[in-house]
Structure 1
């Protein structure tokens, strides 16, 4: 071996200068190729593993959150099933004096429970012995409940909710219904609008460009944030091998299953991976360019062997000698290319390091137990030894997300301190920046906001700034603080551009604010009566007074409450959402309070105007319905209200005002008048038969009401007729 090495070394020293240059260049090219290949393989594997771990952590958190929400719904149903109020109402006869107060208290309890449920779920209770489905917006028969469910699901018909299982989950076009059986009889239904669940899932996918699919254990598709091909939807995604093609993009599925659902996340190559591929592509282009330049250099000097040998002899003698113009030009161009390639490679390496840091911070913001790579942790700890999170919300006067001030703020941050923009695909712009004084950071943001006048009238610009943190593991907490800074501050509706510092004392404020029962009924009456002037005064005085000193979060929840109340009124008047708004208010992603308030107020005025239009008088509809159905023993105030799609309180008040009669008294009056006609036309009929034909299941009740209305008993009336 030693002899072989000496032989090769001797031949190398005896070879020409050109041959030596060729050998050195080939060795350099081989080493560079190996280094670039190792760099490409390492970065590709490392980023791919980090993206996979990020998505697995995202799926674990998402499935855990959704499982917790489902558990909360099931616990609420169980509490209802064993509550004393449910037992008392189920066993309370409808004709007892305490029935209606008990029913009203039960409906109020349902309303309070609905406010606590996720996804704006709605609870309804069905008692077969009363044939009533009790909800927060009224009571109705099971058949009417089914019809309303059909309308919500675009005509999809179902009469299948009364099953023998203890609990069952139903998947409709627009609604998910969870049924729980009561003992000894009855059911509790929970309706969840798929639109609300989709809004929650879409909000979760803002951080990562993913598709979320929820299906049951039999692979029946419930919800997907993207439109799936039917052939894909019918397959079991957890068992699917290889990537899926959706809208021309490749997605890889990962799944997790709980007792109710299977959660599947389809993740694609993110922009970070695309940028990494692009960076490595530039690296290989530069390598190819360098290789071509070296080959050209060797080829040119091959034809100029004598000048090259003279130049080598000059260098060996350590004397400076003139070189040819052609050689110096080639050397100069070669070094320029090398310098350019070095600068480009440094830029690409810097970009790749930024990608890894960005990916690590994203993962850490969703999973505080995530352990970063040591070298990434060191780099981030040096940059962000103390930091704060900025959340910027920008919306036009129509509540649409815009991005005008975020680029200006990003430019200002780049000139003063290290920062990273965490994600840019949501309706918010979120930055992490090095910071030791939040007041100085607030002043910087204010200068940026004041430096540019609003390009759009009534544009909303909020910037929430978290407190200062020193541990990178607290980035999730800092992110929540920057959002809480906006949610917990008291907004000034005349000043739509604000910079808000996080204040810990605001964290425990109540989030849900609503009108009193009297004010709510007052608002409903003004709207249903079509009195727009009184309605305007109500909004100018009561509503403005209620909104005073509310936090941003409380303000939005109050507007959501008024919106839900308006939907109930619209449903009672058979007015669709499309008739009121071209674009309905979107509370899931709109923060412009002026726009939301204006939309809701205009909705109330439009419904009030519709209520004032001349239509078939309600009194006539009530009389016609009673005349047609008085023989029905179950005819009641609630049944008539459900048929007319109005509340029973409004029905009773309206009938008393326009007819002068109590509605229950009028129903008995119609029945007794019908009984008198039967007695006159069929004098041989028994009192029991007459009572049954006019809607009384009990002859004693019939005789009592007959005497109360006519002044005589039925027998006395027959005797008077015969005389």
Structure 2
């Protein structure tokens, strides 16, 4: 049996996929709900890749008769992706479940698959029947998965919007989810190209090439999960909660005495105790430190300081960094080591905050200071 390099690649990806399905569940402090969802997704991906790699080994009539059953799992991808992201982003929704009707299309299609097996022998024009079936499958699957991709992206945007209100740092998890969604978006673009090539107009790229590229995208997603599993295992562990989703959005105005009290406590924590030097500092941590609620703290930040939590804390960090520069500490230590010393937890967060506050990069600022 001759095996092409492409088929060998698919087999290796399937092996990686199966390994991750079992490995993720053994990660310490695992986020069980989110990890279970990604395990289901990886299992579905491996099934599709197996079909692509080994499908030619089966009889054509067998695939025509039972191949649609595997296609049922396409309708689980969208709901599982959304569930995974929801569970991963929001700690208190670790066991979040979509309503059962989200899985109804998959169940209805599975019912049709059994009906298809029942009527198969009585179909007179198989060619016309399968062309109609393939068109229906491709269009419906494309619409369903695209809808959940859009829904997942909206959820991520909501999270990012609230992240600056509650965290003083950027998280690896955001980049990880964005890469996954981009991979899925590219996959859907090639899916659309496949529909156009097969049913509308012939394209320069062959339909088989489109299928091959689609499988490669699945493979890339799997290796991304593997990479983050090894390099950034915190993605798969229990994370900082964002309280926005579960707390009431109504923020009653505080009385003047309470505002002054909370503001003084914030200033004391940041200026005297240098609480901004804690890389993991979040809104909930600060609220616990000054013995208030996150709602009240958030109200004071937004209405008194006129800043997000992210902006306020990183202003203190940048100011402390500038003091170190004025003391010529950059001649003894690297810029990143100084940034970590004042509370930044990553190079990207540091450069982003520094540029937003000073309108210079750290290197540009140092050159400016040395010239003056």
Q: Which of the pair has the greater relative contact order for Cα pairs under 8 Å at 6+ separation?
A: 2
Question: TM-score band (shorter)?
Answer: 0.3 to 0.5
TM-score (norm 2): 0.33
Question: Greater strand share, 1 or 2?
Answer: 1
Question: Could you say which structure has the larger radius of gyration?
Answer: 1
Q: Which has the higher helix share?
A: 2
